């Protein structure tokens, strides 16, 4: 979007439903266009959902003796309650379906052990199975509490055909890329990854870190490209887990490995990044007063031109966020330092 606004995004997510929030690739939350939801569901979300259901059933069986019949009955009760509510919070659903208040023990005997209700895990399984969706959040769009709604049915596609289509979309957006890049981004097995790539029509290319794949039309020379139309250096401030830096397993061609310890958390999640001329050069954070703090880490980007561009982008980001304050659920060393 050239001019994104929270209101336009909320309308697409919660009124028009032209965008769909899904738990899918790498068991991560994505927002995808409505027409791609069946592809993402069949290619990745079903596998994630099956794994989540198996894990939940094991916990319920070991700790309470509940099996598949109990879980199925609870899920049907949730769907019935949602049909009556239209949309409801997890707390409202737990009041309507007492089984959701069942407690489980997590990490017994550990200092960080807990006894939460199964509410969020069970609703998460149903969402991964595309039976319910996360709806409008409570409060601002940055709130981590939200309402649940029923999901609109969509066609069920064969998994192998869906993997081919998703791999094609990935290569169109992120290619050229290696087999390892595609495998990491999708969370597929190596066998499924190779089979899907082979059917995309991609051709083999040489990358700096080894062999890769590109769609044929990406190799066609642009007929109108000339030095006068080259893109000028530009700055961008991208949020944590943005699809651009998370698009590849191999990142050395746009990220100096020396910057990784400052920009990633212990689990491989990238924090807010500053880009200059197509490369990650630093990071940013929102402070409690709403100010956007920035730090350029790459010496090559410490120029007047880059500094002025980054300052302008920081002001634009602050204006977009307005009175909203972001509370990151995952923290990186640089983000912690800047937000203090």
| Per-residue model confidence (pLDDT) at position 246 | 92
Q: How confident is the model at residue 230 (pLDDT cuts 50, 70, 90)?
A: low
Q: How confident is the model at residue 237 (pLDDT cuts 50, 70, 90)?
A: very high
pLDDT at 255 over 90: yes
| Secondary structure (DSSP) of 168-197 | HHHHHHH-SB-HHHHHHHH---HHHHHHHH
Report CA 263 to chain centroid distance, whole Å. 17
Q: Where are the beta strands (DSSP E) in 43-165?
A: 88-89, 132-137, 146-150
Digit-coded pLDDT (tens) for 100-109:
999 999 888 8
Among 125-129, 190-194, 224-228, 321-325, the range of highest mean pLDDT = 190-194
State the burial class of residue 63 (Cβ atoms within 10 Å of its Cβ: 0-12, 13-18, 19+). Answer: middle
Digit-coded pLDDT (tens) for 288-313:
999 999 999 999 999 999 999 999 99
In SS3 terms, 308-319 reads as HHHHHHHHHHHH
- Least Cα distance to 270 among 301, 236, 242, 310 occurs for 242
pLDDT at 65 over 90: yes
Digit-coded pLDDT (tens) for 190-207:
999 999 999 999 999 999
pLDDT at 256 over 90: yes
Digit-coded pLDDT (tens) for 5-53:
889 999 999 999 999 999 999 888 999 999 999 999 999 999 999 999 9
State the burial class of residue 158 (Cβ atoms within 10 Å of its Cβ: 0-12, 13-18, 19+). Answer: exposed
pLDDT at 224 over 80: no
| Per-residue model confidence (pLDDT) at position 222 | 62
What is the average per-residue pLDDT within 153-172? 95
Where in the chain are the domains?
A: 6-150, 159-216, 232-339
CB distance 181 to 249 below 8 Å? yes
- Global pTM? 0.89
What is the separation, in whole angstroms, between the first and last Cα of the chain? 31
| Per-residue model confidence (pLDDT) at position 83 | 94
Enumerate the β-bridge partners of residue 269: none
What is the average per-residue pLDDT within 133-152? 89
pLDDT at 89 over 80: yes
| Secondary structure (DSSP) of 61-95 | HHHH---HHHHHHHHHHHHHHHHHHSSEEHHHHHH
Q: How far apart are CA 221 and CA 170, in angstroms?
A: 21
| Per-residue model confidence (pLDDT) at position 321 | 92
CATH number of 159-216: 1.10.10
| Per-residue model confidence (pLDDT) at position 2 | 80
Dihedral angle sign, alpha carbons of residues 36, 38, 40, 43: negative
pLDDT at 166 over 80: yes
- Least Cα distance to 314 among 340, 288, 275 occurs for 275
């Amino acid at each position: 979007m050239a001019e994104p606004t929270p209101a336009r995004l909320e309308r697409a997510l919660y009124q028009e439903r032209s965008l769909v929030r899904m738990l899918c690739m790498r068991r991560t939350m994505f927002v995808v266009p409505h027409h791609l939801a069946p592809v993402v569901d069949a290619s990745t979300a079903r596998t994630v959902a099956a794994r989540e259901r198996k894990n939940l059933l094991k916990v319920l069986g070991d700790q309470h003796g509940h099996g598949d019949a109990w879980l199925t009955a609870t899920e049907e009760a949730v769907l019935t309650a949602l049909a009556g509510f239209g949309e409801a919070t997890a707390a409202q659903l737990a009041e309507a379906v007492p089984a959701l208040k069942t407690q489980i023990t997590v990490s017994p005997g550990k200092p960080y052990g807990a006894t939460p209700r199964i509410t969020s895990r069970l609703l998460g399984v149903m969402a991964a199975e595309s039976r319910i969706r996360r709806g409008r959040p409570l409060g601002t769009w940055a709130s981590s509490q939200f309402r649940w709604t029923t999901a609109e049915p969509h066609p069920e596609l064969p998994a192998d055909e869906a993997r081919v289509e998703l791999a094609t979309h990935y290569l169109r957006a992120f290619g050229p890329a290696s087999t390892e890049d595609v495998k990491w981004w999708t969370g597929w097995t190596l066998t499924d990854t190779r089979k899907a790539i082979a059917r995309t029509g991609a051709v083999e290319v040489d990358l700096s870190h080894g062999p890769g794949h590109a769609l044929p039309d990406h190799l066609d020379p642009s007929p109108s490209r000339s030095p006068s139309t080259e893109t000028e250096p530009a700055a961008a401030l991208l949020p944590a887990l943005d699809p651009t830096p998370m698009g590849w397993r191999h990142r050395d061609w746009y990220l100096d490995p020396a910057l990784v310890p400052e920009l990633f958390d212990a689990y491989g999640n990238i924090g807010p990044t500053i880009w200059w001329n197509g490369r990650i050069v630093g990071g940013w954070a929102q402070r409690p007063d709403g100010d956007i703090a920035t730090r350029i880490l790459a010496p090559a980007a410490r120029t007047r031109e880059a500094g002025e561009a980054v300052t302008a982008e920081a002001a634009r980001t602050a204006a977009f966020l307005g009175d909203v304050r972001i509370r990151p659920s995952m923290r990186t060393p640089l983000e912690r330092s800047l937000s203090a």
